[in-house]
Chains A and B, each alone.
Chain A
């Protein structure tokens, strides 16, 4: 395992926010997650180079784009606090996909899962989120005969807040 994280410019990172001041806190958090997944490289001590191909809400992947990480922001719940803040709990799905070649797909899936968890919790992704909780993860469907790809996914609970009525400011 590498002592120092080597930040490799990903081959593809899609849909990172523009950095505009008019991005919501939620968008800034999602963009931070997208960028943070780029640490998933073998050079950084991970099992694969999925961090070189990062996508957001991309349903169909070309085999040439694997290994890859795909982020799926989901529904969030909100709670109005007397302090003047809207406290949110956003579900964020993060998937890693790879071709398994001649290996057992379950073994590859376990490695992908490990990479995702490590990437989320071994670095400080953003100071905008109060808390990041691992809610679930793994692989529940394995390839049929003749199939070539496998994946693993984690569902995160990302808790953050913003001023009531102003999702751009904390």
Chain B
């Protein structure tokens, strides 16, 4: 997809069990206030990684899979969105 070519970065996607594959990903960081429901909230940086499902290895994405961008390794924590073509996960 064009947006991945334009804004994506080349990463190595490594399933928990499987062969690493080079793909494009959208990695974004945002400031989150947490947890909600309190008068005081803590701010912390939260990162997400978005992929094209067609580029991922079979069985992925799954918790514990990793995404390596440069020297940084992100671990998939939990899914946020999945519309059948694109999938976005919270990474840490």
Residues of A within 8 A of B (CB): 55, 57-63, 66, 68, 70, 72, 93, 95, 97, 99, 105, 139-151, 153
Contact = CB atoms under 8 A, between A and B. Distances in A.
A93 B78 CA distance: 33
B39 A72 contact: yes
B90 interface: yes
B38 A62 contact: no
B38 A144 contact: no
Contacts of A148: 34, 42, 44
A150 B39 CA distance: 12
A40 to B, nearest CB: 15
Interface of B: 32-44, 46-47, 77-78, 80, 90-92
A145 B77 contact: yes
Contacts of A58: 40
B44 A145 contact: no
B75 to A, nearest CB: 11
Given A148-B34, A149-B34, A61 B42 contact: yes
Nearest to A105: B35
B76 to A, nearest CB: 10
Contacts of A59: 39-41
